[in-house]
Amino acid sequence: MRVEGLSGGCAPGMRVEGLSGGYAPGSDALTGVGFALEAGTIAAVLGPNGGGKTTLFRALLGELPVQRGLVELEGRPAYVPQTDRTRLDFPVSALDVVLMGAYGRTPAWRRIARADRDAARAALDRVGLAAEARRRFGALSGGQRQRILIARALLQDSPLVLLDEPLSGVDAASAARIEQVFEELRAERRVLLVATHDVEQARRWDRVLCVNGEQVAFGPPAETLTTDVLRRTYGPELVVLEGGRRAVAVEHHEH
């Protein structure tokens, strides 16, 4: 069962119970997921490639073909994919991409509202790319494109934002700006669920959800980011450094 639009107040921003599912009947890609995130929380989702991070996001977006369990969301989540999943040859400017965040609430026969156009420019400014508004999206750097997609999520104005490895492979300036926006969104009482391979990054956020085909652990970073949990999450992909004080998950990129 999936419910969007829970009332605010004391209700959690996101609640998941007994979530299992996959892409075909009888072969679950992810099982036994249950957690709750209150408003104003940044949660990291850690797991190896193929461990179920994308499956979890698709379930939260209501796109998983086979899905069991309960998903309660405060509203329709905004989703920020990795920038290489967008079409770089598509003839659109950075501002055009941000404006897509208002398409869902604009009837097909109406122009985009002036308020939304203003909000789109403000979102670009917030991610530090106001000067690039008219540049073609595909001509921007990877970090800039990632910031544009985050600006689009800002225009969607959703209480829940799902981000798929938004800091992977981006330049330092973009990463700093993105982390600053995360902090602002947390202060605005939004919920951010961020898929990442970076254990040290996850340590700075409020909650960590570890998955590897099933939920391995969920809780504050101090309780979840233990060597034991990380070994169960990543298996042989985990490298422990500095006498056990630091753990690094080895990233595998498909080409």
Partner 1 sequence: MLDWLTDPFAGGLMQRALAEVLILAVACGPLGVWVLLYRQSYAAESLSHAMLPGLVIAVLAGAPLLLGAAGGVLAAAAAIALASRDERLGGDAGVAVAIATLFGLGALLALSPDVPARLGELLFGDLLGVTGRDLVEAGILAAAIALALALAHRRLAMSVFDRAAARSLGARPARWELVLLVLLAVCTVAAVRGLGNLLVVALILAPGAAALNLTTRLPAALGLAAALAGLAGVLGLVASYHWEVAAGASVALAAVLVFAVSLLGARPLDMA
**Contact set with partner 1 (CB under 8 A):** 61-63, 76-81, 85-93, 96-97, 100-101, 103-106, 108-109, 136, 138-142, 144-145, 149, 152, 156, 158, 162, 164
> At closest approach, how far in Å is the CB of 251 from partner 1?
19
Q: Could you identify the residue written with the tokens 């340590």?
A: 203
Give the residue from 169, 133, 132, 196 showing the smallest Cα distance to 182. 196
Nearer to partner 1, 21 or 101 (CB): 101
Nearer to partner 1, 41 or 158 (CB): 158
Nearer to partner 1, 141 or 226 (CB): 141
H-run or E-run covering 99: helix 94-103
> At closest approach, how far in Å is the CB of 153 from partner 1?
9
> At closest approach, how far in Å is the CB of 218 from partner 1?
23
> At closest approach, how far in Å is the CB of 71 from partner 1?
14
Nearer to partner 1, 35 or 79 (CB): 79
> At closest approach, how far in Å is the CB of 21 from partner 1?
16
The residues facing 240 across adjacent strands are 247
> At closest approach, how far in Å is the CB of 119 from partner 1?
15
> At closest approach, how far in Å is the CB of 109 from partner 1?
6
List the Cα angle 154/131/176 in 5-degree steps: 55
Q: Going by C-beta distance under 8 Å and a sequence separation of 6 or more, which residues neighbour residue 57? A: 79, 162, 164, 193, 195
Helix, coil or strand: residue 1: coil
Nearer to partner 1, 11 or 92 (CB): 92
Nearer to partner 1, 152 or 197 (CB): 152
* C-alpha distances in Å from residue 192, one per residue of 94, 137, 140, 243: 23, 24, 25, 32
- Distance in angstroms (rounded) separating the CA atoms of residues 45 and 112: 35
Give the residue from 170, 105, 90, 171 showing the smallest Cα distance to 137. 90
Nearer to partner 1, 171 or 200 (CB): 171
Q: In terms of C-beta density within 10 A (0-12 exposed, 13-18 middle, 19 or more buried), how is residue 31 classed? A: middle
Give the residue from 188, 215, 193 showing the smallest Cα distance to 206. 193
